[in-house]
């Protein structure tokens, strides 16, 4: 029955991907029903409630930032930076999207930056697919490294039995992922022909389908509470990391903390959302009307359905899966990264992939070094060109340089993204023994 149930899981994952949006999670719930009706037992405890709590609280805060005008302010600062240094856009664009995702814990922040990247690139004769490809990849890699992302929390929770703490994970993942993204940018820099040599661009330009580059937004004026809201948010991030530090069992500063780091992140983020609304003099009810809130809640439903589906299957067949994977993974622990690399685009979520499979890897008795080093591979959303940020980049690039070729995997995100993940994992294996 294991092969039948695996086919059911894959079928509903593919069905969800075809439905798109919140349909990914709804299809996952349908898959759970089929598994249960055909002999797989599960319970409400298999649902990733901690992950959902993190996503909901963080998205509330990000939506509050958008309501206060802070997100527009960050986009404006990004535009100023990119227009001031257009020749370095292939490296600056991923640095910006990585930082925004690192701070906000979600890759949805990249949507507002993508049009700026396209406009600056084409106005200086730079092939937009070069900065766009690695910027989209970096926006997802940054989520994996974020102190307030559900994926990072899921990693820390899964590794607790190995006495590997939240701070240790951050100390390894943040520097390795940033360096990996910069290496990916170097790969993207040389990818594809020059813009004025691209036949697709020349054809679209002749047909009048390429919009003229827009001028810099000189008339921009920041919302009154934009800067203040950003400082409040940054202060909240400092508090999150500080609490994780003093409550860490590895340091032993606080022997009996009143709460663990996960509920601390949830409560601090929700309180921060309220404080931002108060500082901006905006009604908290407006949080639910923001684009980031709607996208984030959709992601929460997707992760609920997919992670629960994966957990139901893995928990039911844990012994068979462990016996099949134990030998190869024990002999070559780096295969964990390969497993995550191919599981992530199917699971459609960093957090769902981590929540469903990292506990399984821990149960196999694999070394902590391999697990932490391999973790960034869960950021592989670019392999299949169907993730929302990937689709947005292709649709917003009116030059046609960011496109899918004749084959499904023939698109500009694959090479820089894979290079970035390989470097992240390799650096993790080199760095983790000194931290863990």
**Average pLDDT of the residues in 262-285:** 91
Query: Quick one: pLDDT at residue 410?
Result: 80
Q: How many helices (H) and strands (E) does the chain have?
A: 19, 0
> Mean of the per-residue pLDDT values for the chain?
87
Query: Quick one: pLDDT at residue 188?
Result: 95
Rounded Cα distance, 277 and 288, in Å: 12
Query: Quick one: pLDDT at residue 241?
Result: 84
Assess whether pLDDT exceeds 90 at residue 15: no
Q: Where are the alpha helices (DSSP H) in 70-207?
A: 70-84, 89-104, 114-123, 129-145, 150-159, 166-189, 199-206
C-alpha separations of 219 from 73, 84, 116, 280 in Å: 13, 17, 16, 22
Assess whether pLDDT exceeds 70 at residue 199: yes
Assess whether pLDDT exceeds 80 at residue 79: yes
Assess whether pLDDT exceeds 70 at residue 216: no
Rounded Cα distance, 22 and 48, in Å: 17
Query: Quick one: pLDDT at residue 13?
Result: 82
Note whether 236 and 268 are within 8 A (CB): yes
Q: What is the DSSP letter of 307?
A: H
Encoded tokens for 240:
């999150």
Query: Quick one: pLDDT at residue 250?
Result: 65
Rounded Cα distance, 161 and 363, in Å: 10
Assess whether pLDDT exceeds 60 at residue 156: yes
Query: Quick one: pLDDT at residue 220?
Result: 73
Rounded Cα distance, 133 and 287, in Å: 31
Query: Quick one: pLDDT at residue 20?
Result: 72
Assess whether pLDDT exceeds 60 at residue 154: yes
The per-residue b/e assignment along 374-389, b for 16 or more CB within 10 angstroms, e otherwise, is bbbbbbbbbbbbebbb
Query: Quick one: pLDDT at residue 112?
Result: 80
**Average pLDDT of the residues in 195-222:** 78
174: nearest Cα among 142, 151, 150, 149: 142
101 contact partners, CB below 8 Å, separation of at least 6: 107, 109, 110, 138, 139, 140, 141, 142, 143, 146
Q: How confident is the model at residue 252 (pLDDT cuts 50, 70, 90)?
A: low
Rounded Cα distance, 84 and 116, in Å: 13
In this structure, the number of other CB atoms found within 10 A of the CB of residue 95 comes to 19
Rounded Cα distance, 319 and 322, in Å: 5
Query: Quick one: pLDDT at residue 296?
Result: 80
Tokens 């509050």 — which residue?
Answer: 64
How far is residue 8 CA from its own chain's centroid?
Answer: 26
Residue range 347-389, pLDDT digits in tens: 777 888 888 889 889 988 899 999 999 999 999 877 877 777 8
**Average pLDDT of the residues in 116-137:** 90
Residue range 420-430, pLDDT digits in tens: 999 999 999 99
Residue range 306-336, pLDDT digits in tens: 888 888 888 888 888 888 888 889 889 999 9
Note whether 311 and 321 are within 8 A (CB): no
Q: How confident is the model at residue 172 (pLDDT cuts 50, 70, 90)?
A: very high
How far is residue 124 CA from its own chain's centroid?
Answer: 29
Rounded Cα distance, 12 and 10, in Å: 6
């Amino acid at each position: 029955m294991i092969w039948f149930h695996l086919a059911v899981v894959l079928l509903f994952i593919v069905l969800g991907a075809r439905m798109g949006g919140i349909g990914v999670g709804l299809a996952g719930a349908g898959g759970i029903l089929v598994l249960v009706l055909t002999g797989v037992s599960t319970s409400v405890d298999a649902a990733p409630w901690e992950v959902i709590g993190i996503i909901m609280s963080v998205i509330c805060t990000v939506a509050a930032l958008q309501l206060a005008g802070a997100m527009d302010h960050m986009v404006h600062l990004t535009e100023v930076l990119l227009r001031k240094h257009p020749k370095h856009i292939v490296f600056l664009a991923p640095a910006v999207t990585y930082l925004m995702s690192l701070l906000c814990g979600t890759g949805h922040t990249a949507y507002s930056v993508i049009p700026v990247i396209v406009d600056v690139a084409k106005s200086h004769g730079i092939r937009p697919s070069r900065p766009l490809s690695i910027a989209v990849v970096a926006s997802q890699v940054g989520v994996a490294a974020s102190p307030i992302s559900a994926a990072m929390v899921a990693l820390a929770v899964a590794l607790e039995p190995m006495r590997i703490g939240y701070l240790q994970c951050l100390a390894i993942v943040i520097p390795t992922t940033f360096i990996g993204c910069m290496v990916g940018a170097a790969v993207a820099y040389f990818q594809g022909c020059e813009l004025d040599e691209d036949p697709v661009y020349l054809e679209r330009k002749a047909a009048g389908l390429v919009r003229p580059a827009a001028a810099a937004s000189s008339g921009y004026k920041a919302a009154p509470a934009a800067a203040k809201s950003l400082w409040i948010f940054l202060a909240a991030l400092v508090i999150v990391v500080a609490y994780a530090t003093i409550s860490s069992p590895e340091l032993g500063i606080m022997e009996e903390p009143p709460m663990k780091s996960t509920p601390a992140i949830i409560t601090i983020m929700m309180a921060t959302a309220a404080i931002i609304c108060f500082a901006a003099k905006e009604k908290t009810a407006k949080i639910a009307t923001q684009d980031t809130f709607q996208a984030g809640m959709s992601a929460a439903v997707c992760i609920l359905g997919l992670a629960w589906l994966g957990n139901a299957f893995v928990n039911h067949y844990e012994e068979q899966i462990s016996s099949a994977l134990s030998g190869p993974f024990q002999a070559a622990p780096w295969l964990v990264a390969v497993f995550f690399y191919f599981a992530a685009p199917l699971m459609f979520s960093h957090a769902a992939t981590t929540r469903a499979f990292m506990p399984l890897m821990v149960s196999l008795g694999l070394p902590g070094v391999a697990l932490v080093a391999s973790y960034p591979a869960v950021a592989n959303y670019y392999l299949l060109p169907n993730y929302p940020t990937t689709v947005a980049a292709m649709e917003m690039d009116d030059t046609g340089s960011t496109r899918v070729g004749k084959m499904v995997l023939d698109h500009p995100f694959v090479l820089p993204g894979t290079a970035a993940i390989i470097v992240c994992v390799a650096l993790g294996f080199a760095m983790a023994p000194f931290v863990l």
